Every structure is written in C-alpha cells, then in structure tokens.
Chain A
C-alpha cells in the first residue's frame, strides 16, 4: 500500500522529521543570510554619524561628538531656511512623481488595446530605450536638443517664427519641477509599463470572453477587467514609492543643476551630496542617510496600515 495513504496526519516530513513550517524557513535561510550580510551588517557604519569621522583613521581614535551632526541640520536660522527650501523641492518632486506613477498603468492598458502586433512591439521596444541610458547621457541628449547655441529646439522654434532669438532652456529655473518630472516620465514610462503589461497578460482570458458574451464593450472591458487586474501591482509600487518619499536620488538633479536653477532643483539627496561630499563631511551625510532610512521605514509601515484600512489588505 502507498505509504501516503496510511492516514498519518502530523505535518512532518517522513525522512527529516522537521515540520513543514520550519522546513520552509530552512529553504529560505540561505537567502535570508545574504540579506543579513549585505543588508544589515553594513549598517554598523551608522555609528560614524556620532563621530567626527575622517576617512583612513580607525573609528576608535576618532572624536566622539554625540548628536552634533543631527542637530547641525537645524541648528541655526540660515540652516533651517536651507532645509525648508530643500524639503520643499523634495516634496514637490515626490508628489509629482507619485502623481505621474499612474501613467505607466494607462500606457499599458491602452497599449494592449493595439491589435497590430508589429506596431505594438515597435512601440514597446522604442519606448523602453530611454530607460537604458544613464542620467548623464540623458543630459547629453537634453544638451543637444535644448542648448543655447545650435540646439535643435531653438533652431526649429526660430525657423517656425515662434521666438526671435535663442532661449537658454536648460539654464532657466522656471518650471524646473515640471521639466524634471517630464524627463522622468520620458525616461521611465515605457519601462514602467512592462510590469503592468506582464500583469495584464496574466489576466484570465475567459473573463474577457464572459464579459463580451454579457455585452460589454471595449471601454467596459478595460475598466472592469484590465484595470482591476493591474491594480494589485500598482498598489505595491505605490506603497514603495510613498516610502521613498524623501529619497529622490541625486543623479538626475545633479546633472541638470546649474547656478541658475539650483534653488529649485536641489532635493535632499543632492543637498547632502553638495554639502557633505563636496565639503568632505562624511559624518553629516551618514547622519542624514540614517534619518532618511528611519523616515522611509516609518512611512512604509504607515502606508501599509493605511492600505489595510482602505483596501482591507496589507502589502508587506
């Protein structure tokens, strides 16, 4: 008789005797170990935030300064104004980023409505191209197109008679938040849509057939089947971007910054770079990145709790 048929009901593996819940953990353990080593061990570096750190000297012989660097973020009115300005930029960029994060969803939903296969593939391939170049190269492209002399856009605008002389698009700080967001959309839209397209491909075709039988038109199919099908993915990404609210990264803003637009382009990450790396103040940078991590994790769990209240399910 088949040994499985003997009615043994304990959830134990016959060979090892380890119950299933620990066996699953055991399978995961090598990967959790990697996370421990590469995700958690380097965090001892946060102790540098409490020292007057100079690279090259062992930590034991550094000067202990307590919370000096944390307090230095807000310790005088001038500094406080700076932080206010930087945080305004950071919040603006993050809000615009979250507002535009719905665009890849729309892109994906409408792209799958294109029934000409070669056209769909062409669109998908070419729109992911910008994702594969770094921000430095994006700036190179921006420079070729928008530069003051010989820029393509200036030439076209003058040729069409919309403007009299060259305009220095890249230097002006006007609408810089909007411009940065547009570059972000240009670079990330096609790429961001891939995840949603994959999610749409995973939707059961029978749902569509059933709805068609019930007389649903194209728009109704999109609204009632495709959109709900991508929403789980969207909410996960939304949650992660909310947690990233104060981490905009610095590369994009670093390459686009100049003396004229600096006031409205300097986000927190760039500010930390400008003040600490350029000024060689490593401890200050560590203190800020420590605070950022704490804020992010708090935001993550707050957003997660909100998701539990609103949608009835948690994400992490």
Chain B
C-alpha cells in the first residue's frame, strides 16, 4: 500500500545520516573521556591518547571505589531517586489531573498559585530556616517533601490530559471505569445515551410495568 518513491529514499538517507552525525557528536566526548580513564595515566596526561586507549588498566576505578563513604552516599542517592521519583510522579500527576477538572472550586486561581512558585527564588538562607523550623535538617524528608509537587510536571500533565479527547473519559465512565459519584453527571450522560433523564425513564418504565400487569 505504501509506495516508497525516489524522494522518500533521499529523505530517509539524509535523515539517517543527520541523526548519525549528531549522535556521534553527543557520544564521542564520553568515549574520549572514557579512554583517558582506562589508559596509562602518564600517557593520557601528556595528551597522547586520541582515538584508542593505550596501556589499558582499571586502577583509576579501583581507587574511586576505595573512597570512604561512597557506598552510603550512593545508597542515599539511589533511595532519593527512587522514592522521590515515585512520589513526584504521583503527586504532580494527581494535581495536574485535578486541574483539568473544570468543576474544581477556584481552579484557575489555584493553578496559578502553583505555577508562579516556579519563578520565586527566596535564596538559600530563608529556605534553610524554614527547613529547620520544620525539623527537617539532617532528615531524609528534606529531599522528598519539597519535591512532591513540581509545578513544571503539573503543567505538563495538565496540558497532556487536556489534549486527550474528552469523549474518552466520558465513555470510560459509561463503561463503569470511574463510576458516578456525581448524580448530575450521571443524569446528563444517561440522557445523552438513552434520550431521557433517569427519572423520566423510571416513570415511563413504571407506567409500562403497571400497564403490563
């Protein structure tokens, strides 16, 4: 069904090569750094290593692993990343999603309330004093709590959810994915689907039932 013409091939080739070049530009410096670290130290210091490592050894890495406190620090970092990421994704996605709900009281105000904090910078000393008053100095929570709501991610989630077709959520509700806490909404959806309000439907149904007896 899909014909690949001459122009298409040129497009693809240029595309592949273009990305190849940029990828090399991004990756080569890292390769270059890496071959310096595993090459003979005096050779790399004199700038003799250009394309390939010479006198390969791993002593530099062994030395790094001997640094005291490295494992604890690594553990703290990994923990912070894992816990922090989970909570940030949860918190920011939840709040971002709530902001797509047009019914929320003061929605625009609260959204702006969150967003503008991105541009506030109160410098480090008041920050430290706040943390101290909250008892979070030398406390793991200092990493976690302030990061739960990230205004930037809230904006992203909101934009993304708003770009989804609204009908998707409505049809999911009809399928019982969310349920009807809100009776007004139920009535409306019911009317859209059945053509009459639930009360009308019930009345008519009762009439039919009575007539049938």
Please name all residues of chain B whose beta carbon is closer than 8 Å to the beta carbon of A152 when the two chains form the complex. Answer: 32, 50
A243 CA / B119 CA spacing, docked (Å): 8
Segment among B54-62, B69-77, B107-115 that sits at the interface with chain A: B107-115
A149 at interface by CB-CB < 8 Å:
yes
Q: Is the CB of B127 within 8 A of A42?
A: yes
A25 CA / B115 CA spacing, docked (Å): 16
A132 CA / B145 CA spacing, docked (Å): 23
Q: Is the CB of B114 within 8 A of A42?
A: no
Q: What DSSP secondary structure best describes chain A's contact surface?
A: helix
Number of interface residues of A (CB under 8 A): 84
Q: Is the CB of A7 within 8 A of B98?
A: no
Please name all residues of chain B whose beta carbon is closer than 8 Å to the beta carbon of A300 when the two chains form the complex. Answer: 115-116, 119
Please name all residues of chain A whose beta carbon is closer than 8 Å to the beta carbon of B198 when the two chains form the complex. Answer: 4-7
Q: Is the CB of A123 within 8 A of B187?
A: no
Please name all residues of chain B whose beta carbon is closer than 8 Å to the beta carbon of A24 when the two chains form the complex. Answer: 98, 101, 103-105
Q: Is the CB of A114 within 8 A of B115?
A: no
Cross-interface CB contact of A119 among B16, B145, B184, cutoff 8 Å: B16
Chain A 13-53 interface 0/1 with B at a Cβ cutoff of 8 Å (1 = within): 10000001110110110011011011111111110100000
Cross-interface CB contact of A282 among B125, B156, B183, B186, cutoff 8 Å: B125
A150 at interface by CB-CB < 8 Å:
yes
Q: Known: A43-B120, A189-B22. Is A31-B126 also a contact (CB below 8 A)? A: no
A198 CA / B110 CA spacing, docked (Å): 27
Cross-interface CB contact of A4 among B16, B155, B180, cutoff 8 Å: B180
Please name all residues of chain A whose beta carbon is closer than 8 Å to the beta carbon of B18 when the two chains form the complex. Answer: 110
A7 CA / B123 CA spacing, docked (Å): 56
Q: Is the CB of A9 within 8 A of B187?
A: yes
B146 at interface by CB-CB < 8 Å:
yes
A160 at interface by CB-CB < 8 Å:
no
Q: Is the CB of A11 within 8 A of B146?
A: no
Q: Is the CB of A144 within 8 A of B126?
A: no
Q: What DSSP secondary structure best describes chain B's contact surface?
A: helix
Of B1, B8, B94, B160, the most chain A CB neighbours within 10 A belong to B160
Q: Is the CB of A149 within 8 A of B47?
A: yes
A113 at interface by CB-CB < 8 Å:
yes
Q: Is the CB of B155 within 8 A of A236?
A: yes
Please name all residues of chain A whose beta carbon is closer than 8 Å to the beta carbon of B187 when the two chains form the complex. Answer: 7, 9
Q: Known: A44-B126, A126-B23. Is A11-B119 also a contact (CB below 8 A)? A: no
Within A134-171, which residues are at the interface with B (CB < 8 Å)?
Answer: 140-141, 144-145, 149-152, 155
Q: Is the CB of A35 within 8 A of B46?
A: no
Please name all residues of chain B whose beta carbon is closer than 8 Å to the beta carbon of A114 when the two chains form the complex. Answer: 12, 15-16, 19
Chain B 173-213 interface 0/1 with A at a Cβ cutoff of 8 Å (1 = within): 00000001111111100000000011101100000000000
A68 at interface by CB-CB < 8 Å:
no
A96 at interface by CB-CB < 8 Å:
no
B122 at interface by CB-CB < 8 Å:
yes
B64 at interface by CB-CB < 8 Å:
no
A35 CA / B112 CA spacing, docked (Å): 11
Chain B 79-121 interface 0/1 with A at a Cβ cutoff of 8 Å (1 = within): 0000000000001001100110101111000111111111111
A259 at interface by CB-CB < 8 Å:
no
Within A265-305, which residues are at the interface with B (CB < 8 Å)?
Answer: 282, 285-286, 289, 292-293, 296-297, 300
Q: Known: A5-B202, A24-B105, A300-B119. Is A10-B184 also a contact (CB below 8 A)? A: yes
Cross-interface CB contact of A144 among B26, B36, B118, cutoff 8 Å: B36
Q: A11-B183, A28-B99, A129-B26 are in contact. List 16 more A-B contacts (CB 8 A).
A: A4-B180, A6-B202, A11-B103, A24-B98, A31-B91, A31-B95, A31-B148, A39-B151, A42-B126, A111-B19, A127-B23, A144-B36, A240-B118, A289-B121, A293-B120, A316-B112
Top-3 shortest CB links A-B: A45-B126, A150-B47, A7-B199
